């Protein structure tokens, strides 16, 4: 380790950073985590994982092998490789790189010759060279690519995915020069099964945006077709299933209540931001954003129509929103369409509860709710709106309850439902 105390220091111990840290420990590396949240660090150091993808057992195993979390930035001078995995949210629809800049400043203040700095946070092309390196340079006079090494590697974490985890998902890597790339490739090969080098950080930054923009645009296409098919009295779910039998040239996407999570609704906007800077809007992306953002309102309009068809007005109707996580089998509600759906229904006068076995409390923009007990409540509602079905969902109870169901998931397990 050339005089360094730790092989790896991870900056930001959230959905990306903590899995990286724990997997690196399991691969035999000495690892320390740095996060500005003292509350999160205390949880981690006491063996309580703050994210679902890392079990308490896995975390405690890492702690037993020397892993520790701290908010003392001085530790960043004791590590050979620094991976920055901090949030990059949108603020007023603009990329907010506050956390990246703060992390870069902490790195710069403690930078030592020979260190390798890798950004993993999702961002727009050019961030590594135009933001990260200059921010480090404000606090250090060391030359990037010569006295310390820099690159970008997009995270590919898929929360809740039991098959593709950190170690077996191919890892895109890049460096600002050959020496940086060589060191970054050597590091990731020590903890990941397959690495895929690209020619520069800009290409690596663009890879992540392409991956999620591809999904974003195709989900918008199928959502718009779902609206059209409803108007034409065509079953979009049967259409997609039949089209999926084509063995080439087609990939199935499914309609829904919108898009959620921190990637698909957000990442394409980084691309839009960058292209507007050069005077070339990406029309596909912006149209897809418009369509996907409109789906919660469309769902609420369909709910109103659904209730009218069974002789009930939307106002004062008791509605159970079933599942509020943005995808099955996790408790993550970031950017969940359920947020807007619940607020619209409440604003229109409905009495709304929710049930989610993974989410015990849920705060929308305007309402704070606590999950009800599914076993005791299904038959007291005027309708049930299926937003998310988990693998542990009680399908039998749903099918037997007798309450009309509007399903945004297209589940084949549910009987006698109206689908989006």
Residue 79 has pLDDT above 80, yes or no: yes
Residue 405 has a pLDDT of 97
pLDDT of residue 166: 87
If one compares 295 and 274, the residue with the highest pLDDT of the two is 295
Mean pLDDT of 126-132: 97
pLDDT value of position 274:
86
* Percent of the chain topping pLDDT 90: 86
Show which of 145, 171, 199 is a domain's final residue. Answer: 199
Residues 250 and 190 occupy one common structural domain? no
Number of domains in the chain: 2
Judge whether 263 counts as a catalytic residue. Answer: yes
Please check whether residues 156 and 258 belong to one and the same domain. Answer: no
Average pLDDT score over residue span 8-17: 96
Q: Please tell me whether residues 247 and 174 are part of one structural domain.
A: no
- The one catalytic residue in 229, 263, 300, 401 is 263
Predicted confidence band at 82 (pLDDT cuts at 50, 70, 90)?
very high
User: Is pLDDT at 2 greater than 70 in this prediction?
Assistant: no
Please, which pLDDT band fits residue 275 given cuts at 50, 70 and 90? confident
pLDDT of residue 36: 96
Based on the fold, state whether residues 187 and 264 are members of the same structural domain.
no
The pLDDT of residue 176 is 98
Residues 24, 143: one domain? Answer: yes
> And the tokens for 39?
């509350």
* 256 or 160, greater pLDDT: 256
Instruction: Say whether both 28 and 172 belong to one domain.
Output: yes
In a domain, 13, yes or no: yes
Average pLDDT over residues 27-53: 96
Residue 298 maps to a domain: yes
Q: What pLDDT is stored for residue 93 in this prediction?
A: 76
Look at residue 277 and tell me if it is in a domain.
yes
Q: What is the mean pLDDT of the chain?
A: 94
186/303 same-domain check: no
Q: What is the pLDDT of residue 94?
A: 84
Domain membership of residue 224 (yes or no) is no
Report d(CA 291, CA 314) in Å as an integer: 24
**Domain boundaries, position 284:** 237-419
Rounded distance between C-alpha atoms, residue 159 and residue 327, angstroms = 9
Asked if residue 225 belongs to a domain, the reply is: no
User: What pLDDT digit, counting tens, does each position of 283-329 carry?
Assistant: 888 899 999 999 999 999 999 999 999 999 999 999 999 999 999 99
In a domain, 85, yes or no: yes
Same domain? 364 vs 272:
yes
**Within this chain, do residues 252 and 187 fall inside the same structural domain, yes or no?**
no
pLDDT of residue 1: 56
Average pLDDT rounded to a whole number, residues 209-224: 95
pLDDT (average), residues 218-233: 97
| pLDDT value of residue 299 | 98
- Binning pLDDT at 50, 70 and 90, where does residue 147 land? very high
pLDDT at position 341 over 80:
yes
Nearest to 89 by CA among 216, 330, 265: 265
Tens-place pLDDT, residues 381-411? 999 999 999 999 999 999 999 999 999 999 9
The pLDDT assigned to 76 comes to 97
Question: What is the structure's pLDDT at 375?
Answer: 66
In a domain? residue 153: yes
Of the listed ranges 73-77, 190-194, 204-208, 267-271, the least confidently predicted one is: 267-271
Same domain, 267 and 378: yes
Coil, strand or helix at 338:
helix
Q: What is the CATH number of the domain that holds 294?
A: 3.40.50.720
HEC readout, the chain: CCCCCEEEEEECCCCCHHHHHHHHHHCCCCEEEECCCHHHHHHHHCCCCCCCCCCHHHHHHHHHCCCEEECCHHHHHHEEEEEECCCCCEECCEECCHHHHHHHHHHHHCCCCCCEEEECCCCCCCHHHHHHHHHHHCCCCCCECCCEEEEECCCCCCCCCCCCCCCCCCEEECCCCHHHHHHHHHHHHCCCCCEEECCCHHHHHHHHHHHHHHHHHHHHHHHHHHHHHHHHCCCHHHHHHHHCCCCCCCCCCCCCCCCCCCCCCCHHHHHHHHHHHCCCCCHHHHHHHHHHHHHHHHHHHHHHHHHHHCCCCCCCCEEEEECCCCCCCCCCCCCCHHHHHHHHHHHCCCEEEEECCCCCEEECCCCEEECCCHHHHHHHCCEEEECCCCCCCCHHHHHHCCCCEEECCCCCCCCCCEEC
Residues 258 and 184 in one domain: no
Q: Is 229 part of a structural domain of the chain?
A: no
SS3 161: coil
Answer with the residue of higher pLDDT: 374 or 256: 256
Of 33-47, 173-187, 221-235, 281-295, the least confident:
281-295
């Amino acid at each position: 380790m050339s005089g360094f105390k730790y092989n790896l220091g991870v900056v930001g111990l959230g959905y990306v950073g903590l899995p990286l840290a724990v997997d690196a420990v399991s691969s035999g590396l000495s690892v320390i985590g740095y996060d500005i949240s003292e509350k999160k660090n205390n949880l981690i150091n006491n063996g309580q994982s703050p994210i679902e993808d890392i079990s308490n057992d896995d975390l405690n195993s890492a702690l037993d092998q020397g892993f520790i979390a701290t908010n003392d930035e001085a530790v960043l001078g004791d590590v050979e490789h620094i991976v920055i995995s901090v949030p990059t949210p949108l603020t007023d629809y603009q990329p907010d790189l506050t956390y990246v800049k703060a992390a870069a400043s902490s790195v710069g203040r403690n930078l030592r010759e020979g260190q390798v700095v890798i950004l993993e946070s999702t961002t727009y092309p050019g961030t590594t060279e135009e933001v990260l390196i200059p921010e480090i340079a404000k606090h250090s006079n060391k030359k990037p690519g010569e006295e310390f090494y820099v690159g970008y590697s997009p995270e590919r974490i898929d929360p809740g995915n039991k098959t593709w985890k950190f170690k077996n998902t191919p890892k895109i890597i890049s460096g600002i020069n050959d020496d940086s790339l060589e060191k970054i490739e050597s590091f990731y090969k020590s903890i990941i099964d397959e690495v895929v080098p690209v020619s520069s950080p800009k290409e690596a930054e663009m890879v992540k945006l392409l991956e999620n923009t591809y999904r974003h645009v195709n989900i918008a296409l199928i959502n718009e077709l779902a609206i059209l098919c409803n108007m034409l009295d065509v079953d979009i779910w049967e259409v997609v299933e039949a089209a999926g039998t084509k063995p080439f040239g087609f990939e199935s996407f499914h309609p829904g209540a919108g898009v959620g999570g921190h990637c698909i609704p957000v990442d394409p906007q980084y691309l839009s931001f960058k292209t507007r800077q050069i005077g070339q809007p990406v029309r596909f992306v912006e149209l897809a954003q418009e369509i996907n953002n409109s789906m919660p309102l469309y769902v609420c309009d369909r709910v109103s129509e659904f209730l009218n068809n069974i002789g009930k007005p939307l106002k004062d109707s008791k509605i159970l929103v079933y599942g509020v996580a943005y995808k099955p089998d996790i408790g993550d509600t970031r950017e969940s369409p359920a947020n807007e759906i619940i607020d619209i229904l409440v604003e229109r006068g409905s009495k709304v509860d929710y049930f989610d076995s993974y989410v015990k409390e849920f705060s929308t923009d305007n309402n704070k709710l606590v999950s009800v007990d599914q076993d005791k409540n299904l038959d007291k509602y005027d309708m049930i709106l299926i937003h998310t079905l988990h693998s542990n969902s009680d399908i039998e109870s749903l099918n037997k309850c007798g309450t009309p169901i509007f399903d945004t998931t297209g589940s084949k397990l549910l009987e006698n439902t109206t689908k989006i």
